[in-house]
Amino acid sequence: MRILNIDGSEAGACGNGTRCVAWAMMRGTDAKKLRIETVRGPLNCARLDEWRFSVEMGAPRLKWDEIPLRDPFHDTRGVELQIGPIDAPVLHTPAVVNMGNPHAIFFVEDAAAHDLGRFGPLLENHPIFPDRANISLAQVVARDHILLRVWERGVGLTRACGSAACAAVVAAARKKLTDRRATVTLPGGDLQIEWRTSDDQVVMTGPVELEFEGRLASALFADLAA
């Protein structure tokens, strides 16, 4: 499986897309499990019921050169980056995590109080992120609940981002703000995320919805065949 962003760049990871592909591949079969090859590596998917699936998203990468960052940081639970005046920054000290793609998570009191559509492009393309980054605003509601808004690398504001939900729970757990299992509420709905202690895997569970079906004309692929 390969997933392309709106700007044509390839997404290093896409949890929601993987879950939907798993549904499509297992549709009409008795299969309960599926392994999907991605640029991130093989992802194990499981069908819990007709419309609910889980995906093992892999172990988080937490070292500065695995994110990657331009500059060395010993502690990636909070790196030196801010938006706004030096003495009163609007956003500052994000946690960074790689879940197959780079994520920067700013923990805020109110995720809806900031203009992510304005700050997102600046932060995505900040020189500290040589591969750009997904930018999230995370509001911890309880030890098992996070509200999340995401500016997605190569896309913009999105209603949901599975890898960002995974990164947010990892970052929150590392900062002792939540436990290792939490519900992440995004504008598009809820995801259940668990960062397992047994094997370091981050498991994302959520629903699938059929929006529409169609058929692509073969002529669209004529140039690819050539």
* Euclidean distance between CA atoms 97 and 162, whole angstroms: 13
The pTM (predicted TM-score) of the whole model is 0.92
Exposure string of 179-218, with b = 16+ CB inside 10 Å and e = fewer, is ebebbbbbeeeebbbbbeeeeebbbbbbebeeeeeeeeee
DSSP string, 115-171: -HHHHHHHHHT-TT-TT--EEEEEEEEETTEEEEEEEETTTEEES--HHHHHHHHHH
Q: What is the pLDDT of residue 41?
A: 86
Three-state SS letters, 20-56: HHHHHHHCCCCCCEEEEEECCEEEEEEEEECCEEEEE
pLDDT at 13: 82
Q: What is the DSSP letter of 59?
A: P
CATH 3.10.310.10 for domain 58-208: yes
Distance, CA of 33 to chain centre = 22
Q: Which residues are catalytic?
A: 14, 161
Q: What is the pLDDT along the chain (226 residues), one digit of tens a residue?
A: 998 888 888 888 888 899 999 999 999 999 999 999 988 889 999 999 989 999 999 999 999 999 999 999 999 999 999 998 888 899 999 999 999 999 999 999 999 999 999 999 999 999 999 999 999 999 999 999 999 999 999 999 999 999 999 999 999 999 999 999 999 999 999 999 999 999 999 999 999 999 999 998 988 888 776 5
Exposure string (b/e) for 28-49, b if CB count within 10 Å is 16 or more? eeeeeebebebebeebbbbbee
- What is the reported pLDDT for 225? 62
What single-letter DSSP state applies at residue 187?
A: T
Q: Determine the Cα–Cα distance for residues 39 and 28; give it in Å rounded to an integer.
A: 27
Q: What is the pLDDT, as a whole number, of residue 31?
A: 93
Burial 127-166 (b: 16+ CB within 10 A, else e): ebbeeebbbbbbbbeeeeebbbbbbbbbbbebebbbbbbb
